[in-house]
Chain A
Amino acid sequence: MIISVASGKGGTGKTLVATSLARSLKDKYKVQLLDCDVEEPNDHIFLKPTITRSEAVLIPVPKVDEGKCTYCGKCAEVCAFHAIAVLGEHVLTFSQLCHGCGACSYLCPEKAISEGSREAGVVEWGNSDGVEFTHGKLTIGEAMAPPVIREVKEQANKEGIIIIDVPPGTSCPVVKAVKDSDFCLLVTEPTPFGLNDFVLAVETVRELDIPCGVVLNRAGVGDKKVEEYCQKENIPILLTIPLDTEIARLYSRGITLAEGIPQWRGSFLKLFDRIKVLIDERNRCFER
Chain B
Amino acid sequence: MKEIVVLSGKGGTGKTSIVGSFAALTKSKVLADCDVDAADLHLLLSPSAKEENEFWSGQVAIIDDKECTQCGLCQDLCRFGAIKDCVVDPISCEGCGFCFHICPANAIFMKENLAGRWFISNTKYGPLVHARLGIAQENSGKLVATVRQQARKMAEKLGFDYIISDGPPGIGCPVISSLSGANLALLVTEPTLSGIHDLERVLGVCHHFGVQTMVCINKYDINENNTRRIEGYCLSQEVEVAARISFDNVVTEAIVQGFPVVEYSQGKVTHEIESLWQRIT
> Chain A residues in contact with chain B, CB under 8 A?
8-12, 15, 39-40, 42, 45, 60, 78, 80-81, 99-103, 106-107, 138, 140-145, 167-175, 179, 191-193, 196-197, 200, 203-204, 207-208, 221-223, 245, 248-249, 251-254
5 interchain pairs, CB-CB under 8 A: A39-B201, A40-B9, A80-B59, A80-B96, A101-B94
Give A64 to B256 CA distance when docked, in angstroms. Answer: 57
Contacting residues, chain A, for B38 (C-beta < 8 A): 8-10, 168-170, 196-197, 200
Cα distance, A72 to B9, chains bound together (Å): 43
Nearest-Cβ distance from residue B13 to partner chain A, whole angstroms: 6
A175 touches B256 (CB 8 A): no
Nearest 5 CB-CB pairs, A to B? A10-B11, A11-B12, A169-B37, A101-B96, A39-B170
The interface residues of chain A lying within 8 Å CB-to-CB of B172 are: 39, 138, 142-145, 173
Task: Say whether chain A's binding surface is mostly helix, strand, loop, or mixed.
Answer: loop
Q: Is the CB of B136 within 8 A of A101?
A: no
> What's the Cα separation between A254 and B170 when bound, in Å?
19
Query: Using an 8 Å CB-CB cutoff, how does the interface string of B247-277 with A read, 1 for contact, 0 for none?
Result: 0010010011010000000000000000000
> How near does chain B come to A52, taking the closest CB pair, in angstroms?
21
Interface flag for B123 (CB, 8 Å): no
- Whether B141 is near chain A, meaning CB under 8 Å from some CB there, is yes
On whether A145 and B194 interact (CB within 8 A), knowing A101-B94, A191-B252, A248-B222, the answer reads no
B32 to chain A, nearest CB (A): 17
Which of B151-159, B202-210, B238-246 lies on the face that meets chain A?
Answer: B202-210
Residues in chain B near residue A208, CB distance under 8 A: 91, 136
Inter-subunit contact A45/B168 (CB<8 Å) = no
State how many angstroms separate the Cβ of B143 from the closest Cβ of chain A: 9
Residues from chain A with a CB closer than 8 A to the CB of B177 are 143
Digit string of B198-237 for contact with A (CB within 8 Å is 1, else 0)? 1001101100110000000000001100100000000000
Chain B residues within 8 Å of chain A by Cβ, number: 63
**Once the chains bind, are B171 and A253 in contact (CB under 8 Å)?**
no
B255 touches A192 (CB 8 A): yes
- CA separation between A168 and B194, bound complex, in Å? 14
How many Å from the CB of A84 to the closest CB on chain B? Answer: 12
CB <8 Å contact, A143 and B141: yes
Instruction: Give residues of chain B (18-76) contacting chain A, Cβ–Cβ below 8 Å.
Output: 36-38, 40, 43, 58-59
- Beyond A140-B201, A170-B37, whether A193 also contacts B16 by CB under 8 A is yes
**Structural contact, A172 and B137, CB atoms closer than 8 A:** yes
Within the assembled complex, what's the spacing in Å between the Cα atoms of A115 and B77? 15
Q: Is the CB of A10 within 8 A of B10?
A: yes
Cα distance, A57 to B228, chains bound together (Å): 35
Contact of B136 with A99 in the complex, beta carbons under 8 Å: no
A254 to B168, CA, bound (A): 23
* A192 contact from B11, B37, B43, B135, Cβ within 8 A: B43
Q: Whole-angstrom distance between the alpha carbons of A221 and B36 in the complex?
A: 25
Pairwise interchain contact A107-B101, C-beta atoms closer than 8 A: yes
What's the Cα separation between A28 and B169 when bound, in Å?
Answer: 35
Chain B residues proximal to chain A, CB less than 8 Å: 9-13, 16, 36-38, 40, 43, 58-59, 77, 79-80, 91-92, 94-98, 101-102, 133, 135-138, 140-141, 168-177, 190-194, 197-198, 201-202, 204-205, 208-209, 222-223, 226, 249, 252, 255-256, 258
CB pair B255 A222 closer than 8 Å: yes
A15–B194 CB distance below 8 A: yes
In the complex, are the beta carbons of B133 and A197 less than 8 A apart?
no
A254: chain B residues within 8 A (beta carbon)? 192-194
A236→B260 CA distance, assembly (Å): 32
Instruction: Give B16 Cβ to nearest chain A Cβ, in Å.
Output: 7
Cα–Cα, bound, A186→B258 (Å) = 24
Closest beta carbon of chain A to B267's beta carbon, Å: 17
Q: Are B43 and A196 in contact (CB under 8 A)?
A: yes
- Known A-B contacts A107-B102, A252-B191; the reply to A171 vs B37 at CB < 8 A is yes
Return chain A residues, CB-CB under 8 Å to B201: 39-40, 140
Task: Please name the residue on chain B nearest to A39 by beta carbon.
Answer: B170
Nearest CB in chain B: distance from A238 CB, A: 21
The minimal Cβ–Cβ distance linking B60 to chain A, given in whole angstroms, is: 11
User: Nearest A residue to B258 by beta-carbon distance?
Assistant: A192
Instruction: Tell me the minimal C-beta distance from B169 to chain A in angstroms.
Output: 4
A152 to B232, CA, bound (A): 33
Residues of chain B within 8 A of A9, CB atoms compared: 11-12, 38, 40
Instruction: Please name the residue on chain B nearest to A179 by beta carbon.
Output: B91
Q: Is the CB of B97 within 8 A of A169?
A: no
For A99, A107, A193, which residue has the most chain B Cβ atoms within 10 angstroms?
A: A193
Measured CA separation A213–B218 after assembly (Å):
30
Contacts of A252 in B (CB 8 A): 190-193, 222-223, 226
**How distant is the Cα of A8 from the Cα of B38 in the complex, in angstroms?**
6
Question: Closest Cβ of chain B: how far from A147's Cβ, in Å?
Answer: 10
The docked-state distance in angstroms from the alpha carbon of A145 to that of B140 is 12
A171 pairs with B138, CB closer than 8 A: yes
